[in-house]
């Protein structure tokens, strides 16, 4: 059994910042994530895509953000349990007993659910021809954009990811953007940018088309597209990218007697506690009036949830708020000379 002050479920940016906020107030945490790497959606879906709304950072990628958050929590020597998900949850006196898919058992008074949208997988291309090329010529996320340099790329989708990657890859590749409808649902500014690139011959847009078939042996040689009127167009391409959004699955969370609202968990915004004492929810998975699904909102939620965890982890101690700029205790936990100005 692993005893800890807090079990954090989810190793995305919000979960990592929760570890930091817990650490600076003296609480030990363990982290469980069902992915095989740290970083959550930032790493799984857009490690190389710019993020522009992190305070004091004009631009960073998902990978850079993850690395910086990991550096920030280095002093706390946090244990990560990857490729695992929480399967069972039961009350054990004033604690929770949590069992993972790898049969690890945690005993903790606090659980912070920072699992993004839960377990997720990309929506895939409907044609069966695509399956044999997955991971070689067909991709649903981009981990290294250099793979596609000077190649012929066919991007399917009409949302932000499809538009953003069409813009990004057009800098060094031949891009065709395919959508089943004439209208795109992405940000107007991105669509305007795509239209400008189309006029310059940097991007080709085909609507309303859908994928009909894929041809090739080990790698893709061409795709066949079909229009609403039955017209077929064949394109010679090297790679297919599909951006159709995610299929979200909450998994065992649905059995935890939490106050669920569709696929999100309702919380008290004073503490971000759920209807179960000692279970908190932060990030995309929680909901409340005025909720914004932004990373910076998750950071705020993590800070409040961490302070609420202190009361349950240290019931006989009174929490005293301190600023990191002046607190010798906090500086010591961060490995900084307490007397340094």
Query: Which segments in the chain show pLDDT lower than 70?
Result: 44-46, 117-121, 246-251, 340-341
Confirm whether 338 is domain-assigned.
no
Q: What secondary structure letter does DSSP report for 21?
A: H
Residues 113 and 251 in one domain: yes
Residues 149 and 201 in one domain: yes
CATH of the domain at 324: 3.50.50.60
Residues 154 and 189 in one domain: yes
Number of structural domains (the chain) is: 2
pLDDT of residue 169: 96
Q: Supply the range of the domain harboring residue 162.
A: 124-244
- Residue where a domain stops, chosen among 244, 272, 302: 244
Max Cα-Cα span within the chain: 75
- Residue where a domain stops, chosen among 194, 224, 244: 244
List the one residue out of 181, 238, 176 whose CA is nearest residue 201: 176
Confirm whether 94 is domain-assigned.
yes
Confirm whether 200 is domain-assigned.
yes
Residues 222 and 266 in one domain: no
Confirm whether 340 is domain-assigned.
no
pLDDT of residue 313: 97
Confirm whether 108 is domain-assigned.
yes
Confirm whether 68 is domain-assigned.
yes
Residues 154 and 302 in one domain: no
What is the three-class DSSP state of 289? Answer: coil
23 Cβ contact list (under 8 Å, min separation 6): 29, 73, 75, 76, 78, 333
Residues 313 and 178 in one domain: no
Task: Look up the pTM and report it.
Answer: 0.68
List the one residue out of 40, 45, 47 whose CA is nearest residue 62: 47
Residues 259 and 227 in one domain: no
Residues 22 and 67 in one domain: yes
pLDDT of residue 100: 93
- Residue where a domain stops, chosen among 222, 244, 266: 244
Which backbone phi and psi does 193 adopt, to 5 degrees? -65, -45
| C-beta neighbour count of 168 within 10 angstroms | 17
Residues 211 and 148 in one domain: yes
Residues 91 and 133 in one domain: no
pLDDT of residue 226: 94
Residues 60 and 113 in one domain: yes
pLDDT of residue 292: 93
How far is residue 32 from each of residues 7, 36, 99, 225, 305, measured CA to CA in Å? 8, 10, 11, 42, 17
pLDDT of residue 278: 97
Residues 260 and 326 in one domain: yes
């Amino acid at each position: 059994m692993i005893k800890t002050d807090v079990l954090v479920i989810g190793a995305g940016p919000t979960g990592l910042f929760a570890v930091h906020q817990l650490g600076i107030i003296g609480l030990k945490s363990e982290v469980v994530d069902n992915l095989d790497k740290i970083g959550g959606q930032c790493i799984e879906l857009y490690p190389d895509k710019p993020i522009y709304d992190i305070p004091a950072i004009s631009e960073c990628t998902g990978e850079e953000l993850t690395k910086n958050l990991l550096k920030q929590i280095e002093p706390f020597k946090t244990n990560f349990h990857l490729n695992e998900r929480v399967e069972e949850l039961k009350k054990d006196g004033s604690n929770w007993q949590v069992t993972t898919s790898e049969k690890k058992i945690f005993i903790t008074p606090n659980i912070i659910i920072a699992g993004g949208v839960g377990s997720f997988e990309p929506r895939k291309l409907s044609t069966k021809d695509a399956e044999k090329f997955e991971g070689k010529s067909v991709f649903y996320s981009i981990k290294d954009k250099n793979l596609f340099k000077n190649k012929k790329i066919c991007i399917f989708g009409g949302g932000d990811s499809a538009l953003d990657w069409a813009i990004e890859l057009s800098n060094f590749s031949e891009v065709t953007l395919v959508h089943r409808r004439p209208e795109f649902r992405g940000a107007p500014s991105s669509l305007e940018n795509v239209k400008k690139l189309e006029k310059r011959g940097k991007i080709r847009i085909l609507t309303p088309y859908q994928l009909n078939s894929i041809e090739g042996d080990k790698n893709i040689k061409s795709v066949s597209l079909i229009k609403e009127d039955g017209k077929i167009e064949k394109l010679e391409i090297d790679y297919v990218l599909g951006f159709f959004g995610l299929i979200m699955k909450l998994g065992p969370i649905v059995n935890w007697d939490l106050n669920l609202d569709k696929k999100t968990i309702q919380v008290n915004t004073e503490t971000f506690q759920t209807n179960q004492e000692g279970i908190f929810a932060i990030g995309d998975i929680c909901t409340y009036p005025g909720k914004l699904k932004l990373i910076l909102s998750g950071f705020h939620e993590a800070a409040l949830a961490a302070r609420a965890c202190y009361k349950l982890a240290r019931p006989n101690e009174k929490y005293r708020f301190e600023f990191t700029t002046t607190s010798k205790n906090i500086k010591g936990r961060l490995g900084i000379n307490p007397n340094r100005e």
